[in-house]
């Protein structure tokens, strides 16, 4: 199986880690482009995504033995240099069958997707020798206007009417009353402090992408006096706050499968278009979670080999875009008290020298190219000495460092 994000699928993770399933994990944007290119008859392409990581060098576990040893590792990729910049070569994907879910299909096979349900459905529909579509509604030819059609019928071979249109919501997420924050557990209050500080990174008119988990919550604390255009890898531009219970729509979710809203002027598109925006440096800032960050700005946030696997998702693509500012939000230390900011990362890397700023429950660090970490701000009640004791590498202290959040 070729996949990008396992997420919370415990059975999938169990089968992979126990050796029952061979899984090739790839960056989500690369997967989208593999499928799009396969459907377009392009055998391979070059991308900067994954340069300097195991994506390039090989070594990602594909199959585990029952005793936990790795039986099959991913192989090194071919690389090329264009305009002085290194890229990896990725081979395209096409399938014997493509299984697609559509909102509406007409009798010629023309397809329309609803809201964020476009995602991988559109490129998948073009990449199968036989494309089978389950449609919520099949309409007569002519009812779908030509400028509404997402996939023309030339790609579609069979249409099945959905008899039981049950749409399950994996992560029902609704807007919380901020007045109730004081009653939350201490761990959540700590997270909210990080989230609120991260929300101050947004600037008026900015295009931003927020990672799954803590970063996404920052959208609820954006200054109401500014406009920020939030992009989600699954094909949404213009995300708003989480919905009220009355606003919940199962076809409107973010990349973390949480229910969301969309602001006026928002738009929907397919995943391959979404990652084209990311690789094309259209996103001003990305806020991501982190397991480890090095003093030079290397980031590790997608796997603990043999123990925990969620998959790369879109993080490797996001940090590979040279024009995107990368802000990492995370606890300063692990649950056992060990530092997560280190001289060198011990986990497989998401990106090399890609992080610009780190925001933790204790402080804010800037990564200064060629120099290392600069302590910019302190959280309320934290001292420089406390930060130094909790950090696994050296850093310098800004002359105006102060408690700011």
Report the pLDDT value the prediction gives residue 178, as an integer from 0 to 100: 61
**What are the DSSP calls for 152-163, one per residue?**
-GGG--EEEE-S
Name residue, tokens 């280190």: 342
190 CB burial (10 A radius; 0-12, 13-18, 19+): middle
* 48, 54, 87, 163 from 90: Cα distances, Å: 10, 14, 10, 39
Catalytic residue among 56, 90, 233, 292: 233
Report the pLDDT value the prediction gives residue 6, as an integer from 0 to 100: 81
User: pTM for the complete prediction?
Assistant: 0.93
**What are the DSSP calls for 261-279, one per residue?**
-EEEEEEE-BHHHHHHHHH
Q: How far apart are CA 382 and CA 374, in angstroms?
A: 16
Q: What is the mean pLDDT of the chain?
A: 94
Q: Which residues make Cβ contacts (< 8 Å) with residue 259, sequence separation at least 6?
A: 169, 171, 172, 173, 174, 242, 243, 248, 249, 250, 252, 253
Instruction: Look up 233 and say whether it is catalytic.
Output: yes
Six-digit token pair at 6? Answer: 């396992």
Report the pLDDT value the prediction gives residue 168, as an integer from 0 to 100: 87
Report the pLDDT value the prediction gives residue 177, as an integer from 0 to 100: 64
Name residue, tokens 């997707």: 113
**What are the DSSP calls for 4-46, one per residue?**
SB-TT-HHHHHHHHTTSS--EE--HHHHHHHHHHHHTT--EEE
Per-residue pLDDT of the chain (405 residues; tens, 9 = 90+): 999 988 778 899 899 989 999 999 999 999 999 999 999 999 999 999 999 999 999 999 999 998 889 999 999 999 999 999 999 999 999 999 999 999 999 999 999 999 999 999 999 999 999 999 999 999 999 999 999 999 999 999 999 999 888 888 888 988 876 656 666 787 888 899 999 999 999 999 999 999 988 898 888 899 999 999 999 999 999 998 889 999 999 999 999 899 999 999 999 999 999 999 999 999 999 999 999 999 999 999 999 888 888 889 999 999 999 999 999 999 999 999 999 999 999 999 999 999 999 999 999 999 999 999 999 999 999 999 999 999 999 999 999 999 999
List pLDDT tens digits, range 316-349: 999 999 999 999 999 999 999 999 999 999 999 9
């Amino acid at each position: 199986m070729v996949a990008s994000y396992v997420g919370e699928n415990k059975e999938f993770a169990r089968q992979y880690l126990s050796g029952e399933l061979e899984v090739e994990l790839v960056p989500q944007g690369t997967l989208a482009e593999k499928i799009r290119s396969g459907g377009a008859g392009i055998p391979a392409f070059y991308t900067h995504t994954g340069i300097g990581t195991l994506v390039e060098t090989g070594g990602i576990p594909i199959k585990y033995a029952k005793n936990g040893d790795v039986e099959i590792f991913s192989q090194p990729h071919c690389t090329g240099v264009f305009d002085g910049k290194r890229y990896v070569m990725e081979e395209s994907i096409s399938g014997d069958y493509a299984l697609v879910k559509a909102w509406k299909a007409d009798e010629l096979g023309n397809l329309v997707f609803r809201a964020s349900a476009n995602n991988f459905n559109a490129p998948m529909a073009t990449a199968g020798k036989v494309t089978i579509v389950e449609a919520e509604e099949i309409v007569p030819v002519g009812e779908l206007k030509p400028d509404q059609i997402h996939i023309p019928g030339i790609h579609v071979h069979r249409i099945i009417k959905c008899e039981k249109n049950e749409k399950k919501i994996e992560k029902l997420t609704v807007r919380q009353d901020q007045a109730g924050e004081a009653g939350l557990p201490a761990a959540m209050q700590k997270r909210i402090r990080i989230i609120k500080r991260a929300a101050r990174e947004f600037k008026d008119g900015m295009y931003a992408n927020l990672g799954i988990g803590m970063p996404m919550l920052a959208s609820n604390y954006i200054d109401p006096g500014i406009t920020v255009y939030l992009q989600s890898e699954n094909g949404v531009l213009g995300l708003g706050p989480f919905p009220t219970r009355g606003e919940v729509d199962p076809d409107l979710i973010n990349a973390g499968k949480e229910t969301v809203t969309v602001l006026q002027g928002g738009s929907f598109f397919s995943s391959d278009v979404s990652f084209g925006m990311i690789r094309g440096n259209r996103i001003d800032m990305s806020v991501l979670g982190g397991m480890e960050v090095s003093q030079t700005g290397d980031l590790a946030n997608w796997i603990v080999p043999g123990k925990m696997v969620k998959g790369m998702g879109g993080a490797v693509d996001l940090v590979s875009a040279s024009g995107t500012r990368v802000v990492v939000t995370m606890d300063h230390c692990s649950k056992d008290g060990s530092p997560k900011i280190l001289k060198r990362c011990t986990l497989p890397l998401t990106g090399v020298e890609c992080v610009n700023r780190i925001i933790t429950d204790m402080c804010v660090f800037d990564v200064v190219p060629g120099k290392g970490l600069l302590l910019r701000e302190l959280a309320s009640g934290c001292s420089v000495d406390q930060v130094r004791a909790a950090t696994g590498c050296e850093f310098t202290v800004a002359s105006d460092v102060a408690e700011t959040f």
